[in-house]
Amino acid sequence: MKRCITLLGLLLLAAPGLGDVRKSSLATIRAGEWDRAAAAHLLRRAGFGGTPAEIDRLAAMTVEQAVASLLDYETTPYQPAPPEISPQLGARRDRFARRELSEDERRAQQLERMRLERQGLEETRLWWLERMIRSPRPMEEKLTLFWHGHFTSGMREVRNVIFMKEQNEFLRRHAQANFRDLVEGISRDRAMLVYLDGVRNNKREPNENYARELMELFTLGVGNYSEKDIAEAARAFTGWSYDEYGFQFRSRNHDYGVKKFLGRSGKFNGDDVIEILLEQPACSRLLARKLLAFFVTPEPHKQLVEQLAKEIRRQKFELKPVLRTLLQSRAFYHPDHRGTLVKSPVELVVSSIRTLGIEARNLKAIERSMATMGQELLQPPNVKGWDGGATWINTATLFNRYNTVAALISGSGRRAGEPTQNMTDEDDPEMTMAGQMMTPAPRSRSGRASQPPYDALGVVRAAGLREAPQIVDYLAGHFLAVPLAGDKRDQLIAWLDGGGRFRIDSRDAGDTLRMLVTLICSTPEFQMQ
């Protein structure tokens, strides 16, 4: 409980103020402000962290080059094996044949389909988790996670894993395209049409669910539209449906009458409504606030929101140049904005694996650990997505967070003959000599292979460190987004030194250093990024 209180205290202290103009500046940081700590910050926020070698590689670049290396990910090939989803789930159902079945046969058929859906859901979750952990294009997956929390759908309501995978792939393809493309595409997305009842929206009985959330959560925010606007927008989206091939417009179900929407009048359809929404200043502000809260600071100041909203409008909602400006900005790298975001369970687990540089062999156990912390992929709690921030932390989830990371560090044993060092490109059968990811052979993602422990000793030796203060400073600097308080640093140094007994070449040095890393990762500071 004390750690929960301490962590909440860190959140309160991190609340942004007005004093320094750099906090709200979108100007590119100066060359002298770009250093190794800034490179590590970029990797944490725009990806899921990285190893010392990956941080060093970025730090050797200019900020423009470093941001481009993450943002221009299309130039890096990566195509993992798709999730194994039963072909039966995509087959067209024969309703006439079903009528010939007995009640017991129909029930058995339904139970089998439910089993295959559950199996497909698990495989799809593990497929996405594997992408986040292994992809050489981490920002692609970070953006997909962002949009999954913005344009929310859940498997429990959709009940079709093919639709959910389809939506995930759509969000990934358009992750840094034009926001207009995202809104238009998600409005036609089969999972969303089911999730928010768009498929039930027809001129005889307009369903307002999608129109309401489109304005409240996706584009404008509360207070920028009326109930009448919702009703008129719902009429514009009537007839939007789907079949086994994808989106389908059912013209006989569409209301072709005149609608009055946000001060405009016309025979609007859904695309017209979307265009009008993007013309509202509130739309760019909502998008700016969401991007800042995800990438920069949990409570962005109004001045910074307005500046980014202006940039969004200037770029005509093209996301890639907006993201480039944001990730190069002085506001992004400001010291007061570092270590201010609580890691979601997905970010905590994936960033721990990527920062440790370890191989994740038991994806199923890792995915289940995220669920115990309150985050299930493809199943946000409601249409608002995850609340995030301090809501991730309570007495139950905090201990699960600590224990999960500790287990990744200590490992679960290794097979006979396996080395203990961290995985390298040469050890990885999915990597070429050039270090580029190749398409892996199909394999089960739900295997339970044991995982080797983190080789802390190898990392410390590679850095040429021998003394306790050097080792603590190096490891704390790598794993934490903000410096350790002086008393915590002193305690860790005293613990490692053991009254002068620690020796880097002793037989138990590896276990001792692993425990040190566990202690560092059990601080409240490690929960932040």
Calculate what percentage of the chain has a pLDDT beyond 90: 82
In a domain, 213, yes or no: yes
pLDDT score, position 7? 56
Residue 201 belongs to domain spanning: 136-279
pLDDT score, position 19? 59
Question: What is the number of helices (H) and of strands (E) in the chain?
Answer: 25, 4
pLDDT score, position 139? 98
Task: Give the count of domains, the chain.
Answer: 1
Task: Note whether 129 and 366 are within 8 A (CB).
Answer: yes
Find residue 437's DSSP bridge partners.
Answer: 431
Q: Residue 441 has what DSSP assignment?
A: P
Q: Is 60 exposed, middle or buried (0-12, 13-18, 19+ CB in 10 A)?
A: exposed
pLDDT score, position 8? 52
pLDDT score, position 440? 40
In a domain, 254, yes or no: yes
In angstroms, the CA 328 to CA 63 distance is: 6
In a domain, 441, yes or no: no
Instruction: Give me the residues of the chain with pLDDT under 70, please.
Output: 1-19, 413-444
In a domain, 522, yes or no: no
In angstroms, the CA 500 to CA 307 distance is: 54
pLDDT score, position 22? 76
Nearest to 238 by CA among 277, 195, 279, 267: 267
CA 89 → CA 101, 160, 189, 249, distances in Å? Answer: 19, 8, 18, 23
Task: Note whether 159 and 135 are within 8 A (CB).
Answer: no
pLDDT score, position 438? 33
In a domain, 144, yes or no: yes
Q: For residue 223, which amino acid is it? A: G
In angstroms, the CA 340 to CA 331 distance is: 13
Task: Note whether 43 and 54 are within 8 A (CB).
Answer: yes
Q: Annotate 146-196 with three-state secondary structure.
A: HHHHHCCCCHHHHCCHHHHHHHHHHHHHCCCCEHHHHHHHHHHCHHHHHHC
Task: Note whether 448 and 362 are within 8 A (CB).
Answer: yes
Q: Residue 92 has what DSSP assignment?
A: P
pLDDT score, position 6? 55
In a domain, 159, yes or no: yes
Q: Maximum distance among all alpha carbons in the chain?
A: 84
Long-range contacts formed by 249-252: CB under 8 A, 24+ apart: 250/202
In a domain, 430, yes or no: no
In a domain, 219, yes or no: yes
Cβ within 8 Å of residue 193, ≥6 positions away: 199, 210, 240, 241, 242, 247
Q: Is 114 exposed, middle or buried (0-12, 13-18, 19+ CB in 10 A)?
A: exposed
Q: For residue 127, which amino acid is it? A: W
Distance of CA 102 to the CA centre of its chain: 45
Nearest to 66 by CA among 56, 74, 53, 52: 56
